[in-house]
Structure 1
């Protein structure tokens, strides 16, 4: 499981890529690779939680989406091992 933390600058260039990015996110949810995603309430960044077999799989997902390399988007990735979770995530 990986937590992807995005930080956004004031550069609006990323916004034209956002509709396609959100379509890709919906597909990743359907395919079981994305557990949750969304922006911070002040729109300074976002959190995405991916469930992939390997870091390489996550890197492939991210390299296929130009949003992650858009001007004004900074990405930090952390492998995450939750010690507690909601029952809905128990089988993951």
Structure 2
């Protein structure tokens, strides 16, 4: 398994805000499946950081395709990078 960090930037589009409950349900399912380690928005709600535990980048991209935010164009990927934490 690989651990990936995803930094997302948000806009203030009403469509993203309307999709937020479904987006968070999606994240809860991923957490329950063990594929999401942690996730949360920046304090100023300009974006978020997620940490995933997946087989590879292709699996992460599949996860993102299923995210309700993707359907409404609710974010931009600032950084998607495999991470090797030591602690």
Both structures adopt the same fold (TM-score exceeding 0.5) = yes
Higher relative contact order (CA 8 A, sep 6+): 2
Q: Any gaps of 5 or more consecutive residues in structure 2? A: none
Moved more, 4-13 or 69-78: 69-78
Asked if the contact 1:12–1:72 (Cα under 8 Å) also holds between the matched residues in 2, the reply is: no
2:37 to 28, 35, 38: 35
C-alpha RMSD over aligned residues: 1.4
Q: How does the TM-score come out when normalised to structure 1?
A: 0.82
**Larger proportion of strand:** 2
Q: How does the TM-score come out when normalised to structure 2?
A: 0.86
Q: Any gaps of 5 or more consecutive residues in structure 1? A: 86-92
Partner residue, 2:23 = 21
